[in-house]
A = this chain, B = another copy of it.
Amino acid sequence: VNAPASEFALIDRHFRRPVQHADVRVGIGDDAAVIAPTPGAELAVSVDMLVEGRHFMAGADPKALGHKALAVNLSDLAAMGARPRFALLAGALPEPDEAWLDAFMQGFRALAQRHDVELIGGDTTSGPRNLCVTVIGELPAGAAITRAGARAGDDIYVSGTLGAAALAVAAARGNVALADADRDRLRARLDRPEPRVGLGLGLRGVASAALDVSDGLTGDLAHILEASGCGATLEWARLPADPAIAARLDGPDRALALRCLLAGGDDYELCFTAPAHSRASIAALSHALDVACTRVGVIDAGDALAVVDRDGAPLQPLPRAFDHFA
Contacts and interface: CB of A to CB of B under 8 A. Distances in A.
A211 interface: yes
A54 B3 CA distance: 13
B33 A46 contact: yes
Contacts of A210: 31
User: Which residue, A6, A48, A96, has most C-beta atoms of chain B within 10 A?
Assistant: A48
A57 to B, nearest CB: 13
A120 B31 contact: no
A196 to B, nearest CB: 12
Contacts of A92: 49, 51, 54, 130
Interface in A7-66: 7, 10, 25-26, 29-37, 39-49, 51-55
Interface string A207-227: 000111011100110000001
A54 B127 contact: yes
A7 B223 CA distance: 13
Majority-rule SS of A interface residues? mixed
Contacts of A72: 2
A107 interface: no
Given A79-B31, A146-B26, A125 B55 contact: yes
A84 to B, nearest CB: 10
Contacts of A142: 25
28 contacts: A4-B215, A4-B321, A4-B324, A5-B219, A25-B42, A26-B146, A30-B147, A30-B211, A31-B46, A31-B75, A31-B77, A32-B76, A32-B135, A33-B45, A34-B44, A34-B144, A36-B42, A36-B141, A45-B88, A47-B122, A48-B90, A49-B91, A49-B125, A51-B126, A52-B127, A95-B325, A96-B325, A124-B324
Given A34-B45, A45-B121, 11 more contacts: A4-B321, A5-B325, A32-B77, A32-B135, A33-B46, A34-B144, A34-B146, A36-B42, A45-B86, A47-B121, A51-B130
